[in-house]
Amino acid sequence: MEAITSRPLLLHAVGRLVTTGRRKIIRLTSTHAMSDQIRRVLNRIGLFLNRLAQTAEQLTVEATWAIILSVAFVKWLRGKVLHPVAAGNQMLIQLA
């Protein structure tokens, strides 16, 4: 699915990347009439990513991406978790 049909509310935002030290922060400003609803959705996404960054320091990059993709596609995966699998020099994501 493309963003235009699946997430039309999230298309009405202007983003700005702020770099301070080693941190990169994306600041989003919504121009949509339903900006309160959009703010709640974006806050949930931000809280998830902050929690992941704090608790997943011991995980590999591939395992972190598997968690992010598992949460992003939870509806289609029906609660299953993706696991990274290496095949030669390629990284694959396998359903558990």
* pLDDT value of residue 1: 42
Using CA atoms, how far apart are residues 65 and 83, in angstroms rounded to an integer? 9
Beta strands in 1-96 (DSSP E): 13-20, 23-30, 82-87, 90-95
Who contacts 60 (Cβ-Cβ below 8 Å, separation ≥6)? Answer: 84
pTM: 0.62
* pLDDT value of residue 93: 64
* pLDDT value of residue 49: 86
Task: Clarify whether residues 67 and 32 are in a common domain.
Answer: no
Task: Clarify whether residues 40 and 3 are in a common domain.
Answer: yes
* pLDDT value of residue 86: 66
Task: Clarify whether residues 83 and 70 are in a common domain.
Answer: yes
Q: Which domain holds residue 81?
A: 59-96
User: Do the beta carbons of residue 10 and residue 38 sit within 8 Å?
Assistant: yes
The per-residue pLDDT string of the chain (96 residues; one tens digit each, 9 = 90 and over) reads 444 555 677 777 788 899 988 888 888 887 777 878 888 888 888 899 888 888 878 888 888 888 888 888 888 888 888 887 766 666 666 655
Counted domains in the chain: 2
